[in-house]
């Protein structure tokens, strides 16, 4: 297992978890700035809004985790309401993607509102690159030995040390590397979405790429969440699966309707 701490200087610790999150954000910003430039937009806008998106995204991701109720004895609201100071310890893990997306969206919306920009246009520019940030950030789960799946005998199963195994799974050694499934799926989604943005530029409507992010990631997360023994559940069904299904189907229906019934009234993407 990789040491989660890269460097210690006095009370300061530089951790892989934070480096991967920030690194993913920077990689996404770079890809988004390239896309903005391709569209004839000011690429510096991406770097100007990055701090808003990063800070609000982390806050949203943390709040979703804090107020969740994960299975298997994992940290959630039951724990944090008794240990409120631990809410601030993000370096121990515990950032939920749907909360991060909500916070990041709020960060983008706040920035474009303040600068009187086109929100949907900039969401098209930015959201496909979020997938590459997620692809890199998921490796923080590997380093923290979290977000793994049920036990498996498959050759690519990941070894989890006894002290990191969930209750009821102590007798098993190898588990589904769900973080890897999501990382590969997100990286593939980024490439596919960027190819679509170029190959079908004349067909796409403004907002389509934003919707396609949710179609891709919603579908991916629907399947990977079913492999998680620690998933937060409602009525026995993983909450993230419910959200994923709703957003993927909703986004797909939106794209389909806009290209059939509503297309005559819509304008092509920039």
- Percentage of residues in the chain having pLDDT higher than 70: 85
Q: Which domain holds residue 104?
A: 13-265
- Give the chain's largest Cα–Cα span: 63
6 domain-assigned: no
Mean pLDDT comparison of 20-24, 148-152, 257-261, highest-scoring range = 148-152
4 located within any domain: no
DSSP string covering 7-66: EEETTEEEEHHHHHHHHHHHHHHHHHHHHHHHTTS-THHHHHHHHHHHHHHHHHHHHHHH
User: Would residue 127 count as lying in a domain?
Assistant: yes
| Phi/psi of residue 107, nearest 5 degrees | -65, -45
Return the DSSP state at 160: -
- Taking the model in full, what pTM does it have? 0.83
In angstroms, what CA-CA distances link 235 with 206, 232, 239, 241, 270? 37, 10, 9, 12, 43
Residue 230 domain-assigned (yes or no): yes
CB-facing half-sphere around the CA of 270: CA atoms within 13 A: 15
What token pair was written down for 127? Answer: 């959201």
Q: Is residue 58 assigned to a domain?
A: yes
Q: Please tell me the total count of domains within the chain.
A: 1
Using an 8 Å Cβ cutoff, are 221 and 160 in contact? no
Q: What mean pLDDT comes out for the span 212-236? A: 91
Average pLDDT across the chain, whole number: 87
Sorting pLDDT into bands at 50, 70 and 90, what band is 76?
A: low
Q: Tell me if 153 is assigned to some domain.
A: yes
* pLDDT reported for residue 20: 87
pLDDT band of residue 224 (cuts 50, 70, 90) is very high
Q: Where are the beta strands (DSSP E) in 137-267?
A: 158-159, 174-175, 233-234, 237-238
If pLDDT is split at 50, 70 and 90, which confidence band does 151 have? very high
The pLDDT value recorded for residue 176 is: 97
**pLDDT for 265 beyond 80:** no
Mean pLDDT of 28-39: 96
The answer to the question of residue 165 being in a domain is yes
pLDDT at 69 over 60: no
3-state DSSP assignment of residue 178: helix
In this predicted structure, the answer to whether residue 42 has a pLDDT above a threshold of 60 is yes
Evaluate whether residue 47 is within a structural domain: yes
């Amino acid at each position: 297992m990789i040491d989660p701490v890269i460097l210690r200087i006095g009370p300061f610790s530089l951790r892989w978890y934070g480096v991967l999150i920030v690194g993913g954000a920077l990689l996404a910003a770079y890809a988004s700035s390239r896309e903005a430039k391709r569209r004839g937009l000011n690429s510096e806008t991406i770097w100007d809004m990055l701090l808003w998106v990063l800070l609000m995204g982390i806050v949203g991701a943390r709040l979703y985790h804090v107020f969740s109720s994960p299975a298997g004895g994992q940290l959630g609201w039951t724990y944090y309401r008794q240990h409120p100071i631990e809410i601030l310890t993000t370096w121990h893990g515990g950032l939920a993607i749907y909360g991060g997306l909500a916070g990041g969206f709020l960060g983008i919306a706040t920035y474009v509102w303040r600068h009187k920009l086109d929100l949907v246009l900039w969401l098209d520019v930015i959201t496909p690159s979020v997938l590459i940030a997620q692809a890199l950030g998921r490796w923080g789960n590997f380093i923290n030995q979290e977000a793994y799946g049920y036990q498996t005998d498959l050759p690519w199963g990941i070894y989890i040390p006894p002290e990191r195994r969930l209750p009821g799974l102590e007798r098993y050694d190898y588990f589904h590397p769900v973080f890897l499934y999501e990382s590969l799926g997100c990286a593939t989604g980024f490439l596919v979405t960027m190819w679509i943005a170029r190959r079908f530029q004349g067909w796409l409507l403004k907002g389509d790429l934003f919707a396609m992010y949710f179609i891709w990631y919603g579908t991916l997360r629907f399947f990977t969440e079913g492999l998680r023994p620690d998933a937060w559940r409602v009525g026995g069904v993983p909450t993230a699966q419910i959200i994923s299904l709703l957003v993927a189907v909703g986004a797909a229906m939106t794209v389909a309707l806009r290209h059939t019934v509503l297309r005559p009234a819509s304008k092509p993407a920039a």
